[in-house]
Chains A and B, each alone.
Chain A
């Protein structure tokens, strides 16, 4: 937690050193994005589904407290114990308390970005609790002592060889083995042993249903179910925005979620938990950790509609070429860059600038979050609040001076064009941050405005 943060631009520069690797990363994620496209095209009602999903989530935002109270009451009636956590620290303490009460010092966990956000594993491990991540990708990054680099594909930044070496070291697989089938089998055996011996399991929550007090967890591997059904105590951690009004709303969201994430028509397992099984304890921790603040920010509250499909990351040209870790936040990519400054404006001021604002994220988002507009708005908030480094701020201020005064804009454009033609080294050098990773364009002989005026006269 106290690790020094490396700014996105600097981290991505490091990431960009290995060009073939960056190309591979870029293409891999683009492939996932294309699978999403194909799958969405198979449903004629796709756009309407997005509209409905967005509408339900708008309703949720405006009835959040009532829905949570209804959920809590129903869940209690079902025999589930509900806890509320104002922040990450309280969440972690609740988990620790539940484990201590049951004399448990080892736990299995299925993927939960919320516990990443709360840095729960680190906290529990400091308190003598061993936490094993059971999603294969999560286990891989856990063995590497890294956070996940993507919310759906946690180890998307790694090659077979990296994983082969890692498993050789930790799981005793043959040196140099890279066959995914073989490596997955080794992980299966390793994790099966954990599932069978751990008395506590923690899962995330994809959707919580106010009407029934139940919640849904989606996985492809079945790890959430393996953990929860074998453990004596099941703890589910949810950000409060995961609530939806009725069970039938799940149809809308489950149709959108996996198609947006990986192009699958649905995840392999969509498990609906409502009551603990006989002899089992079930707990739900409802977490705020800055969400009430975000709910109060009119420009940014829509980010709470996110269903964590990852589509915005797969499509983002910046994410694909800079990697998830360069975002130094539990949730990377476009949506992460909106959520992060809500938590800490100073530490995360760089993230809303890690975007081309091309709008691709907003176009793919299944719940129609205005992602690129929010990124643009954050930039303004952060600059006004003095959270942005000087160089960037001067650039933006200069830009706004230029853009707000038409005559000055014309003059500076003319100056710029002639400079680039006559003395190109003035712009094509390391001092100009725009020159990084870019060929500066051949400047046109005249501006569009001059061309327009000339042609209109003719």
Chain B
């Protein structure tokens, strides 16, 4: 008998009597203002949130913010001129040179400041991690209350997706918080009004 069959057979023999799933599995978080909560949560985890009126303002703000940075990449068509790094290379190792990436994310979660990003909008899964600095653009009206709402929205994931909440961090050296462990050293979130 294979290990698979033996394990499954043992489980069948040893498992406890049937229990049912809990009736309630979701809760409403009622924040007075979801956007305020989202921004408050992100500020506490070293993430700047910038509200921009339209794509033109996004282009202007991005230009200002990352004026001196080279090796810029983006998945936002309106920023194509701003970017100087092509994402066409099929080898993710080539991304090692990227200093800043501005990427489309799908929505944010107020309770924990996470944004959902998936390979629907990404040419490379490694991109949000390997870039030195990171910015996301999400529509201003795409902020949900909590994780229950988030999964209602997700329903099913694509090949890969990730909740990202703040820049990479570690506290492994005597519990001192250090920003920038392996992933992005900084995170900015642009909330786009007219999406």
Contacts and interface: CB of A to CB of B under 8 A. Distances in A.
A226 B170 contact: no
A223 B173 contact: no
A15 interface: no
A292 B14 contact: yes
B61 interface: no
Contacts of A212: 156-157
B11 A223 contact: no
Interface size class of A (residues with CB under 8 A): 35 or more
A101 B4 CA distance: 22
Interface in A231-258: 240, 245, 247-252, 254-255
Nearest to A209: B157
A51 B182 contact: no
Interface in B95-132: 96, 109, 111-114, 118-119, 124-126, 128-130
B139 interface: no
A248 B25 contact: yes
A7 B141 CA distance: 58
Contacts of A293: 10, 14
Interface string A67-89: 01100000000100000111000
Most chain B beta carbons < 10 A, residue from A134, A192, A225: A225
A274 B161 CA distance: 9
Interface string B159-179: 111111111111111111010
A251 B147 contact: yes
Contacts of A184: 170, 172-173, 178, 180-181
Interface stretch (B16-24, B65-73, B80-88): B16-24
A38 to B, nearest CB: 12
A222 B168 contact: yes
B172 A268 contact: no
B172 A136 contact: yes
Contacts of B24: 48, 52
A86 B165 contact: no
A163 B11 contact: no
Interface stretch (A149-157, A351-359, A416-424, A433-441): A149-157
B174 A65 contact: no
Contacts of A272: 118, 157, 160-162
B106 to A, nearest CB: 13
A64 interface: yes
A136 B174 CA distance: 12
B99 to A, nearest CB: 14
Interface residues of B, number: 77
A52 B25 contact: yes
A307 interface: no
Contacts of B6: 86
Contact of A84 (B4, B14, B165, B178): B4
B140 interface: no
B78 interface: no
Given A52-B24, A296-B13, A222 B182 contact: yes
Nearest to A84: B4
Most chain B beta carbons < 10 A, residue from A49, A181, A266, A301: A266
B2 interface: yes
A248 B152 contact: yes
A428 interface: no
Interface stretch (A53-61, A321-329, A374-382, A393-401): A53-61
21 contacts: A48-B24, A52-B22, A55-B22, A64-B11, A137-B170, A192-B182, A196-B96, A220-B170, A222-B182, A226-B183, A229-B124, A247-B157, A251-B25, A252-B25, A255-B112, A266-B163, A268-B164, A269-B129, A269-B163, A275-B158, A296-B14
Given A68-B8, A251-B25, A268-B183, 15 more contacts: A45-B27, A48-B24, A48-B27, A51-B22, A56-B22, A90-B3, A185-B180, A188-B182, A220-B181, A225-B126, A226-B182, A229-B125, A254-B163, A266-B165, A275-B159
- Ranked 10 nearest A-B pairs via Cβ: A222-B183, A296-B14, A265-B112, A55-B22, A137-B172, A275-B159, A221-B181, A229-B126, A292-B10, A84-B4
Interface of A: 28, 31-32, 43, 45, 48-49, 51-52, 55-56, 58-59, 61-65, 68-69, 78, 84-86, 90, 134-137, 140, 153-156, 158-160, 163, 180-181, 183-185, 187-188, 191-192, 195-196, 212, 214, 220-223, 225-226, 228-230, 240, 245, 247-252, 254-255, 262, 264-277, 286, 288, 292-293, 295-296, 298, 301
